[in-house]
Structure 1
Amino acid sequence: MRILFVFKDFKPDGGVERVQRQLANQFCLDGQQVTFFIMNGDRADTAPTDTIRQIGEPCSWGVFSVLNSARSLRRIIRQQQVTHVIAAKELANLCTRLATLGCNCRVIYTRHAALDSAEQTLNPALLAILYSFYLLGHGQVVTVSNGLKAGLTRRVPWGKTRIKHCPNAVVTEQLSAKAACPLPAHLPSNYLLAVGRLTEEKGFDLLLTAYAKALSQRPLPDLVLVGAGPEHGALHKQADQLGIAGRVHFTGFLSNPYPLIKQARFFVLSSRHEGLPTALIEALALGTPVLAADCDTGPRELLDNGRLGILVKANDVEALAEGIIQALNHSDGLRAAHLEVIQQYTSQQAAQAYYHVWNQ
């Protein structure tokens, strides 16, 4: 197989980029040839394998740029004799659909983000048109959770037989080894942890307010936030205003957050929306107790309706504060490796799921 991954851009701290790179690494281990096409020319130098080639040129955004990228991608598919394509995120999906018109390669268009996300710039009607356009050919659509699959099928019911669910490649053989590294020296040894891009979607503003409210009711460990993003300044200011700046530690982006995840008192997911939260899977894989906001897709599916962790109402500060106190009281009882849940999120299982979709 000659597999081509298509991206709009490649952010080092992006969850989609990380899981797709791990999937690509597994394909390489399986003996496949893998190439990346990144539309804006970003470099994907975030993994140890040197068997993945990369093609792409910097471009500005706009209709003509997408058309130019599609023309370049079409030429590459023919020159490299690509047999299978995976596109990640909407602009890459559209570029891939245009590039593969009339081609015989097998195409998968992926959906990673919640359909009702505030960061979703496409209205539901346009989203349905786009996915109808993808499915007019021979391609298939893959969502990263069953909840996303159900939501997308409601929007494009005629295409339900070609909308599939494939788990993300999250759990790798390197995860435990990375988690065994020492903690950063400047952080407390007893802490609560949240990990993610500092964006409105992740609800860190809700978490700070909930943490301050819970702290007013009982002593708590410090709170550590791992990640970078556009809300960094606003969150620092909010912590100051809440009087908890001395108790909240912003680490910025960390290439290896896994020691922090493994040794946290418990992991908190405060998101307003999710597709499938990678960090929550990693916490489960490392045996860390978890507290998660019950947003539309992702957490409930992962936590088996609350059997494997505490679920609280999404976008609700009071519920999140109560959940923090509850999780602190029961964290020892929640600490367990949920092997039956995380097995499907290994890179091997994820690769097999994609092979199965292609072979249908």
Structure 2
Amino acid sequence: MKRIRVLFVLGTMRVGGAERQVIDILKHLNRDRFETSLYLIYREGELLERVPGDIRISSYWDGHAYPRLNYPGRILRSQARDIHRTIQEHGIDLVYDRTSNVTLTTWLATRRASVKRVSVADSDPRKEIEANHPRFRFAKRHLLGQAYRTADRVVAVSEGVRTGMLEFFRLPPDQVTTCYNIFDIPHLDALAAEDCPEFDGDRFHVVSVGRLQREKGQSYLIDAFDELVNRRGMKHLLFWLIGNGPDAAALQNQVATKNLQQHVRFEGFQANPMPYVRRADLFCLPSLFEGMPLALVEAMVARTPVLSSDCKSGPREILIDGEHGCLVPPGNPLALADAVEDAVNNRETWIARTHGARRRVEETFSVEVGMDHIEKLFQAVVGSHRN
């Protein structure tokens, strides 16, 4: 059987959930059945070195200069033509795009190509459009709707995202399938065993991992710590913020204003945050919206008690309505504070849930389960019998 040639398309390899998932899929995709390559708009990002060595990488800006005269849509159309050329040159059977900006580009690139396309939705579109497409969002919603409707299959990373795609873009139900993110559990266990800064045994440690930006909700968690430390007298709390992003300075100012410098540590970007997560007494995800948060599932792998906002899609589904962790309303510092205080006062109860949480990941989100689904999807879209 001839191998199916798959072209994965992303913007960059900067740190993000979509990029990490593509690396894992590239790593585990069966080489006997699939021949894979990667197309990037920008050949850059901290994760670039993690792309498997046998993957051919091409990039738009490797062969193009910024035009002296630019106008709306010129670069987009040029990128689409370059992806189309790559498809033709390498005899690609299937294009796999991830993130809405890239979906727009691959839609244009594949309209006149005899190639199949799978487009992945990583977050609830009702919030994602507002956050990532503030300019011309009504026009972009219309264009994205066309892009998704013409895909051979749309993949949602959770049932919540699938519901959002069906309602927001009015897609046919049989066109949208749920395919959970995958997690390499043995690899995560090995990462968790690595060293990190010493955790003081006399303090209660809360860890949060994520890009420092508004929709990740860290400011609400800082407000919760203000309530716990300065009003409820819980001076032994220590909050570890792992990540960087555009709101870093604002969050640091918020900590200083509330006199929490002895209770909040900014650790910046960590290539491996798993040792922090494993050593924590509590992992917290305070996001305002998500698709399927990788950090939450990774905390479950580490057997760390988890607290999450009950945002539109993702956490409730992962935690099975709170069976494997605590859910609180998004954007609610008092609810976060109450849950953290409960985790401090009832540690054994919270720890008891971690065993089922780990089992949930092993049974539903493992590489073995996820890759079987992905490979069958690719074969079904292209056609499993090819000459």
SS, match of residue 279 in structure 1: helix
Deviation at 1:137, TM superposition (A): 3.5
Farther off after superposition, 273-282 or 123-132: 123-132
Unaligned runs of at least 5 residues, structure 2:
382-387
Judge conservation of contact 2:119–2:148 (CA < 8 Å) in 1: no
SS, match of residue 223 in structure 1: strand
Judge conservation of contact 1:20–1:169 (CA < 8 Å) in 2: no
Farther off after superposition, 45-54 or 307-316: 45-54
- For 1:151, the equivalent position in structure 2 comes to 164
SS, match of residue 123 in structure 2: coil
Q: Does 1:57 align with 2:60?
A: yes
Farther off after superposition, 218-227 or 286-295: 218-227
Judge conservation of contact 1:26–1:348 (CA < 8 Å) in 2: no
Deviation at 1:48, TM superposition (A): 6.2
**Letter in structure 2 aligned against 1:324:** V
- For 1:341, the equivalent position in structure 2 comes to 360
Residues 65-104 of structure 1 mapped to structure 2, 5 A cutoff: 65-104=75-114
Q: Does 1:32 align with 2:47?
A: no
Task: Give the 3 Å change call, closer, same or farther, for CA 69–249 of structure 1 in structure 2.
Answer: same
Deviations 1:120-177 (A, max 9, x none): 3267754653344234435211111100101110123352210111111233431101
**Which of 102, 112, 133 is the matching residue for 1:121?**
133
Deviations 1:71-103 (A, max 9, x none): 111111111111222101112101111111133
SS, match of residue 208 in structure 2: strand
Judge conservation of contact 1:38–1:56 (CA < 8 Å) in 2: yes
| Rounded Cα–Cα distance in structure 1 between residues aligned with 2:367 and 2:287 | 25
- For 2:385, the equivalent position in structure 1 comes to none
Residues 1-360 of structure 1 mapped to structure 2, 5 A cutoff: 1-11=4-14, 13-27=15-29, 32-42=34-44, 44-47=47-50, 49-58=52-61, 62-115=72-125, 116-117=127-128, 118-121=130-133, 126=139, 129-137=142-150, 139-185=152-198, 188=200, 190=203, 191-215=205-229, 216-219=231-234, 220-335=236-351, 336-337=354-355, 338-342=357-361, 343-358=363-378, 359=380
SS, match of residue 321 in structure 2: helix
**Letter in structure 1 aligned against 2:211:** R
**Letter in structure 2 aligned against 1:26:** H
Deviations 1:296-351 (A, max 9, x none): 11111111101111111111111111111112223332232324421322223222
SS, match of residue 173 in structure 1: helix
| Rounded Cα–Cα distance in structure 2 between residues aligned with 1:262 and 1:178 | 10
Task: Give the 3 Å change call, closer, same or farther, for CA 99–37 of structure 1 in structure 2.
Answer: same
Judge conservation of contact 1:27–1:351 (CA < 8 Å) in 2: yes
SS, match of residue 48 in structure 2: coil
Task: Give the 3 Å change call, closer, same or farther, for CA 259–136 of structure 1 in structure 2.
Answer: closer
Farther off after superposition, 144-153 or 330-339: 330-339
Judge conservation of contact 2:149–2:171 (CA < 8 Å) in 1: no
Judge conservation of contact 1:112–1:144 (CA < 8 Å) in 2: yes
Farther off after superposition, 131-140 or 193-202: 131-140
| Rounded Cα–Cα distance in structure 1 between residues aligned with 2:157 and 2:56 | 25
TM-score if structure 1 supplies the norm length?
0.92
**Letter in structure 2 aligned against 1:83:** D
Unaligned runs of at least 5 residues, structure 1:
none
SS, match of residue 304 in structure 1: coil
Judge conservation of contact 1:225–1:248 (CA < 8 Å) in 2: yes
Task: Give the 3 Å change call, closer, same or farther, for CA 331–48 of structure 1 in structure 2.
Answer: farther
**Letter in structure 2 aligned against 1:331:** R
SS, match of residue 350 in structure 1: helix
Farther off after superposition, 239-248 or 341-350: 341-350
TM-score if structure 2 supplies the norm length?
0.86
Task: Give the 3 Å change call, closer, same or farther, for CA 283–30 of structure 1 in structure 2.
Answer: farther
| Rounded Cα–Cα distance in structure 1 between residues aligned with 2:158 and 2:360 | 13
RMSD over equivalenced CA pairs, Å: 2.2
| Rounded Cα–Cα distance in structure 2 between residues aligned with 1:324 and 1:303 | 17
| Rounded Cα–Cα distance in structure 2 between residues aligned with 1:166 and 1:46 | 26
SS, match of residue 292 in structure 2: coil
**Letter in structure 1 aligned against 2:228:** A
| Rounded Cα–Cα distance in structure 2 between residues aligned with 1:158 and 1:199 | 30
